[in-house]
């Protein structure tokens, strides 16, 4: 297939940051997607509906003229989150979910939940109002191998949680393992997952062989090729429990290329083409529209988009660097490499 037209996709997991970073991140994302779930791990974090709506206005101020982009907002779950905030989310036109970061799991997660049992009163309200809980699914204990942290989270945190709250509407974000894929498949439609382009296109060999590649470093970390293969299988299966979430995360080059490099891949400018590359490599390009444009909207109870985009099978070289902040640069995912699809 040389050309494919699909409903304009949505990104159900994206990091835009705040302040002057929005000059870069918002146009990049808005040129690709009609909507995006905008992560709340700012400094300070977005903890209330009022704060989320204020953040949304700051995002909208940077949408390029002529583009329609609808930021969907999320609250940052802390040990102090009030159960009353859930009803406010449910009543909001623009706030769709709450995001749980285990404390210390990833960038700007220090204010995250220290023990999920402490917030069961809030989760009870989430289940009642059917407000989605978005989860960064890793344990954070230092003695647990970084490659095992997702599986341990499934066993030690998520299984007991769903036993306690079986109707909880839940998205396991950026899954990276075959165990996570199997876990999602075993539950009802109230449990879903997002998958990133980097976890479909790459594995830990790409990160580690021949020297550490800091721009492939993300959390959860890239796993074995066998896990990558399973993610490709479920993403391209047409199962509506799996949908697009880039986890695109901007970090300045100097913050990635140092001994304490930040975790995150910046894929926003060419995200849909990267997904097309992954789907096409396994001969399933015709399944891209469901994954990118249908299933996430259906899960969140939002209408599917009406506008369409077209991708052509034409080589595209991803830029080696992009301008960011004042004189800084971002190195995008797959920088300097050629991919086989282009959005027109």
> Is 206 an active-site residue?
no
pLDDT in tens, 223-247: 999 999 999 999 999 999 999 999 9
**pTM, full prediction:** 0.96
pLDDT by residue (tens digit) across 44-56?
999 999 999 999 9
Q: How far apart are CA 239 and CA 291, in angstroms?
A: 8
Give how far the C-alpha of residue 341 lies from the chain's centroid of Cα atoms, to the nearest Å. 21
Is residue 169 annotated as involved in ligand binding? Answer: no
Cβ neighbors of 314 (< 8 A, separation 6 or more) are: 340, 341, 342
Do 180 and 235 contact (CB within 8 A), yes or no? no
Residue 219 DSSP symbol: S
Give buried/exposed letters for 281-294 (b at 16+ CB in 10 A, else e): eeebbebbbbbbbb
**143 among annotated binding-site residues:** no
Q: Is 15 annotated as a binding residue?
A: yes
One of 10, 11, 28, 247 is an active-site residue; which one? Answer: 247
Residue spans of the chain under pLDDT 50: none
Give the Cα separation of 201 and 203 in Å (integer): 7
pLDDT given at position 261: 79
What is the reported pLDDT for 326? 85
On whether the CB atoms of residues 230 and 178 are closer than 8 A, the answer is yes
Between CA 1 and CA 312 the distance in angstroms is 9
Q: Is-contact 29 328, C-beta < 8 A?
A: no
| pLDDT attached to residue 142 | 87
Concatenate the DSSP letters of all residues of 109-164 into one string. -TTSBS-GGGGHHHHHHHHHHTPPEEE------TTS-GGGHHHHHIIIIIHHHHHH
* Domain definitions of the chain by residue range: 8-307
Q: What pLDDT was estimated at residue 260?
A: 75
Among the listed residues 272, 276, 182, 264, the one whose alpha carbon sits nearest the alpha carbon of residue 221:
264
Q: Is 99 among the annotated ligand-binding positions?
A: yes
CATH fold, domain 8-307, is TIM Barrel (3.20.20)
Predicted pLDDT of residue 269: 98
Q: What integer pLDDT is reported at residue 322 of this predicted model? A: 97
294 is in an annotated binding site: no
Count of H helices and E strands in the chain? 14, 13
Asked whether residue 247 is marked as a ligand-binding residue, the answer is yes
Given this model, what pLDDT does residue 112 score?
Answer: 78
């Amino acid at each position: 297939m040389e050309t494919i037209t699909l409903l304009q996709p949505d990104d159900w997991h994206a990091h835009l940051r705040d302040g002057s970073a929005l000059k870069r991140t918002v146009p990049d994302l808005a040129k690709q997607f009609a909507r995006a779930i905008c992560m709340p791990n700012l400094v300070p974090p977005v903890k209330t509906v009022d704060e989320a709506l204020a953040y949304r206005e700051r995002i909208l101020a940077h949408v390029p003229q002529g583009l329609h982009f609808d930021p969907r907002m999320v609250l940052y779950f802390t040990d102090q989150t009030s159960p009353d905030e859930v009803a406010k989310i449910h009543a909001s036109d623009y706030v769709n979910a709450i995001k749980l970061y285990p404390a210390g799991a990833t960038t700007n997660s220090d204010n995250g939940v220290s023990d999920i049992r402490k917030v069961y009163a809030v989760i009870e309200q989430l289940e009642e109002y059917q407000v989605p809980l978005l989860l960064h699914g890793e344990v954070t204990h230092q003695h647990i191998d970084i490659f095992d942290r997702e599986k341990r989270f499934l066993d030690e945190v998520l299984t007991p949680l769903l036993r306690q709250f079986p109707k909880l509407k839940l998205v396991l974000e950026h899954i990276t393992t075959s165990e996570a894929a199997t876990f999602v498949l075993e539950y009802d439609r109230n449990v879903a997952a997002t998958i990133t382009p980097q976890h479909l296109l790459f594995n830990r060999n790409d990160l580690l062989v021949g020297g550490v590649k800091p721009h492939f470093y993300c959390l959860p970390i890239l796993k074995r090729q066998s896990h990558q293969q399973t993610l490709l299988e479920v993403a391209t299966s047409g199962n509506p429990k799996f949908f697009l979430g880039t986890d695109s995360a901007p970090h300045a080059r100097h913050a990635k290329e140092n001994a304490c490099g930040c975790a995150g891949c910046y894929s926003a400018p060419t995200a849909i083409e990267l997904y097309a590359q992954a789907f096409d490599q396994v001969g399933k390009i015709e399944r891209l529209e469901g994954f990118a444009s249908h299933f996430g909207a259906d899960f969140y109870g939002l209408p599917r988009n009406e506008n369409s985009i077209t991708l052509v099978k034409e080589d595209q070289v991803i830029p080696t660097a992009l301008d960011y902040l004042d004189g800084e640069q971002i190195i995008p995912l797959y920088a300097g490499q050629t991919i086989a699809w282009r959005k027109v």
